[in-house]
Structure 1
Amino acid sequence: MAGITGIGSGMDIDAIVKAMVGAEQAPKQGQLSKLESRTTTQLTNLGQLKGAISSFQTALAALNSPSSFLARTASSSDAKVLSASASQSAAAGTYQIEVTQLAASSKVALAAVPADEGKTLSSGTLSIKVGSESMLDLVVDSSNNTLAGIRDAINKAAAGVSASIVTDDQGARLVLTSSKQGAGNDITVEVSDVGVDGDTALSQLAFAGAATEPDVADYPGGAADPDYLAAVQAYNEAGKVIGTAQSAKLTVDGLSVTRDSNNISQVIGGVGIDLKTLGASTLTVARDQAGVKANVQKFADAYNTMIKFINSATKVTVVNDTSAPVTGALLGDSSVRSLVNMVRNEMVAMQGDGAVRVLADLGVTTQQDGTLKVDADRLAKVVTNDSDAIAAYFTGDSGLAARLAGKLTAYTEGNGILEQRTESLQSTLNKVDKQKTELTTRMTALSERLYKQFNAMDALVGQLKSTSDNLASLFDSMPGVVSSNKK
């Protein structure tokens, strides 16, 4: 209710009211701001803690997979010749492999036809086969009776054969490529129901196999013989085999292997081989020791990330002798304290009677700050000699990974411990927002009341001053009364 104030009294009512409202508001406002700041920081820290626990759970899940310890590696001494992969069922060993022939698919160029634009083919049906398998029966009519139209129709059908057009010295050729590899899977083309329309007979595209090149010795007139020249011209214009379908051929430790693909399986149990070029290579299948060591290290790293965050969020930092210490946002949080105790109890518990019963047997020890340190040499030795013992320690329902994961679930699951803490803190923030709104409402009411009171006082002071001035003027004008101002 601010307005023109202080006219009667000369007082700065606006400044007085603001100062009084500010003095009334400051203690509560400061209390709410501190509570809001502390609660927001705690919420942020709980979210970061949940993320660190989640990363630790991911590392535990990897450790609790038997395949992590049973995995195999397959390496080639010459990666240019072949590459390989191995499943966990593959037996460790070395194999001498020599690739003498790669699998290939059939590729043919059909007879040359005039390359002039707009030239059409007669109607009919093209039947394309790969080996004995029928791939496509294409009806050629006015909608596609050009070489480009046939090409597009074949590619649209996506029937295991693709088409392109190549123009050579003889004319335009429809080039067909099969996706099917292996000996005997050659492309052939049959033509039926040929019409009489079009500039070129569709039957010219028929292809039963490569034409035989004419032998000049078979012609009495030699190279100048008209029949020989005609045969050469016909041979040049006929369909050509660009690539013959063939199978891959290799030997494994001297044993012959023939397959219709360069991606070979079921030759060495549990091993897949990808042939790339001709040559020899030594294939080695072994346990994936590097993967086991990496998983153990990831476990330690994820645990350390979680512990370092908890240490930071719960530590007390002394600034100096006169200032209050700086405390972490989660200092004294019972849920965090119970989490750390639970994890440590599980990690120091003895398990089974095998070669690996505690983390220390793997070379994994606890440092002064609570983080884990991995002795790489000790771990490598155990992985080499007792890989099965490591698997038994980490995996299974009673393994360390499962026990820790089960305990951590209570913190991260829906309506779990951390979610309940988060909801509690969010409720506190909601209450703070409500109290801030109520405080603003009360201060607005107080301000309006003070303005009314001070403005009423100001008006009264103004009236009194006016009465005083009137009386003084009256006395000054009375006979026999001498004003002090006139002395």
Structure 2
Amino acid sequence: MAGITGIGSGIDINSIVGAMVNAEKAPKEAQLARLEKASTTKFSALGELKGALSAFQTAMKDLNSLTLFEKRTASSTNTSALTASATKTALAGSYQMTVERLASSSKVATAALAGDFTASADGNLTVKLGAADGGVAVDIASGDTLVSIRDKLNAALKDKGITANIVNNPADGKSRLVLNAKETGTGKDISIETADPALASLALDGSSQSVGDAAGYLQQAADAEFTIDGLALKSPSNTVDGAIPDVTFTLVGKTEVDKPLTLKVGQDTSGVTANIKKFVEAYNKLITTSNQLTSVVQVGEGKPPLTGGLVGDATVRTLLGGVRNELVNPADQEGVRVLADLGITTQKDGTLKIDDAKLSKALTDNFDAVGSFFTGDNGLMSRVDKRVDGFIRTGGVLEQRMKGLQTTLTGIDKQRETLSRRVEQMQARLFAQFNAMDALVGRLNDTSARLTQALGGLPGVVKQDS
């Protein structure tokens, strides 16, 4: 509507209409801007509080775990010789151990044969793993080479854990079949038997050592040998289960002479300590975040203070008040009743501080009491979680408030659209009115000019110079 206006009247219609429109629009725009800023700030603040509260709830869930307090550790002072693990029923204890010998599996070789060896007649080989084993019969056909014999052995013995390969001697061109067993332990030696003269050169006794080109064992199957507190023990496997009830350990190397290792079995205090510290850190983050969101900071004389997005917010006071009440509420048990018994105390700013030495002593002296203090339906973590769940859960207090603020922000956008339309309509109306006035004044001025001219031409009319 704006253009060349005010020609008839000489009035600056554009400026007048602009001023009137701005007078109507500016207060409402300022009001919407203030509401948008306040709503956005509060929405962001609630989101930040919700994030800190969610992390706090996760830390509580991790600490409120019976499994955490049921874990047992089994630590070795020499992991290059022995590693161990323990189940939750393992009893605490310390054991002096030595590893004298690792369990070994059988490795055998046939007698040295010509590189171009072939079976001269049909027959079969029976491969056994120990004297008590019934064995596996492997059919060999006339003309089979060492390669084909090897492949037939591997196909037949794969379920028995025995593999075969060929080793060639570059010096004399002779070859030998070498068989390896997976199973360890004394008496688990590989042997090859045959009643067929054509295959006699492939037979071997796994209990006799190979010397020179003769058949026999390269490594004999043997039990592991170790001691626990001076008691000499053996195991057919390097993984030993049951020597110490509910403890499994693996022998991985021999210990040095007169240098035993120590195996310690006990509660998983390090895991519990880590989760307690995680809980304290999450709580401190919640307090720090809440303090920032509800603080008022003076920045200088004559300047407005910096205020947090939730200053004076009742939600924050209610939330933190409930959490703090539970943290100081003593448990109905002996040994550990309050956080202070664990060396966890409140500082001036509301955050928690851990006395590591006192926490370590409490875990050593009252491990079960620490577990019952934190876990279970009446444990501290469950009680605190009940206080915060109504705020953090889906459809809870924080989510409902954030949805309300989102609705407000959406409403502000709609109000701006409505204001824009109303201002456009007002501007069009004002221009129409002022332009109509301008046209009328222009016509009146034209009429006045014509009358003045006409009257000036009448007899007796004296013109006055201006």
TM-score normalized by the length of structure 2: 0.75
Does 2:373 align with 1:388?
Answer: no
Q: Matched residues in 1 for 2:427 and 2:137: separation?
A: 90
Q: Matched residues in 2 for 1:139 and 1:435: separation?
A: 94
1:457-468 counterparts in 2 under 5 A? Answer: 467=446
Name the SS of the counterpart of 1:392 in structure 2.
helix
1:20–1:112 Cα change, 3 Å = farther
More displaced stretch, 287-296 vs 13-22 = 13-22
Does 2:302 align with 1:326?
Answer: no
Name the SS of the counterpart of 1:83 in structure 2.
strand
Q: For residue 303 of structure 1, what is the aligned residue in structure 2?
A: 283
**2:6 and 2:12 in contact (8 A); partners too:** no
Report deviation, 1:61.
Answer: 2.6
1:210-359 counterparts in 2 under 5 A? Answer: 244-279=220-255, 280-359=260-339
**2:210 and 2:218 in contact (8 A); partners too:** no
1:208–1:327 Cα change, 3 Å = same
Query: What's the CA shift string for 1:404-442, capped at 9, x where partnerless?
Result: 122222222221222222222222222122222222332
Q: For residue 33 of structure 1, what is the aligned residue in structure 2?
A: 33
Q: Matched residues in 2 for 1:440 and 1:86: separation?
A: 73
Q: For residue 68 of structure 1, what is the aligned residue in structure 2?
A: 68
Query: What's the CA shift string for 1:32-69, capped at 9, x where partnerless?
Result: 22222222222222222222222222332333334434
Q: Matched residues in 1 for 2:48 and 2:140: separation?
A: 66
Name the SS of the counterpart of 1:284 in structure 2.
strand
Q: For residue 197 of structure 1, what is the aligned residue in structure 2?
A: none
Question: Letter of the aligned partner of 1:430 in structure 2?
Answer: T
1:348–1:205 Cα change, 3 Å = farther
**1:129 and 1:189 in contact (8 A); partners too:** yes
Question: Letter of the aligned partner of 1:44 in structure 2?
Answer: S
Report deviation, 1:275.
Answer: 1.5
Name the SS of the counterpart of 2:237 in structure 1.
coil
Q: For residue 77 of structure 2, what is the aligned residue in structure 1?
A: 77
**2:126 and 2:135 in contact (8 A); partners too:** yes
Report deviation, 1:343.
Answer: 0.8
Report deviation, 1:189.
Answer: 8.0
1:81–1:353 Cα change, 3 Å = closer
Q: For residue 5 of structure 1, what is the aligned residue in structure 2?
A: 4
Q: Matched residues in 2 for 1:250 and 1:442: separation?
A: 94
Q: For residue 408 of structure 1, what is the aligned residue in structure 2?
A: 388
Report deviation, 1:135.
Answer: 9.5
More displaced stretch, 249-258 vs 8-17 = 8-17
1:325–1:127 Cα change, 3 Å = farther
Q: Matched residues in 1 for 2:287 and 2:18: separation?
A: 50
Name the SS of the counterpart of 1:369 in structure 2.
coil
Name the SS of the counterpart of 2:244 in structure 1.
coil
**2:6 and 2:13 in contact (8 A); partners too:** no
Q: For residue 403 of structure 2, what is the aligned residue in structure 1?
A: 423
Structure 1 unaligned residues grouped into runs of 5+: 116-121, 192-200, 216-231
**1:7 and 1:462 in contact (8 A); partners too:** no
Query: What's the CA shift string for 1:322-368, capped at 9, x where partnerless?
Result: 33332211122222211111111111222225232222232222222
TM-score normalized by the length of structure 1: 0.72
More displaced stretch, 261-270 vs 284-293 = 284-293
Q: Matched residues in 2 for 1:188 and 1:12: separation?
A: 117
Question: Letter of the aligned partner of 2:30 in structure 1?
Answer: G
Report deviation, 1:269.
Answer: 1.6
The size of the alignment, in residue pairs, is 442
Question: Letter of the aligned partner of 2:306 in structure 1?
Answer: V
**1:8 and 1:461 in contact (8 A); partners too:** no
Name the SS of the counterpart of 2:403 in structure 1.
helix
Q: Matched residues in 1 for 2:20 and 2:371: separation?
A: 73
**1:5 and 1:455 in contact (8 A); partners too:** no
Name the SS of the counterpart of 2:320 in structure 1.
helix
Report deviation, 1:84.
Answer: 1.8
Percent identity between matched residues is 41
1:421–1:161 Cα change, 3 Å = farther
Question: What is the RMSD computed on CA atoms of the aligned residues?
Answer: 4.9
Structure 2 unaligned residues grouped into runs of 5+: none
Q: Matched residues in 2 for 1:296 and 1:175: separation?
A: 57
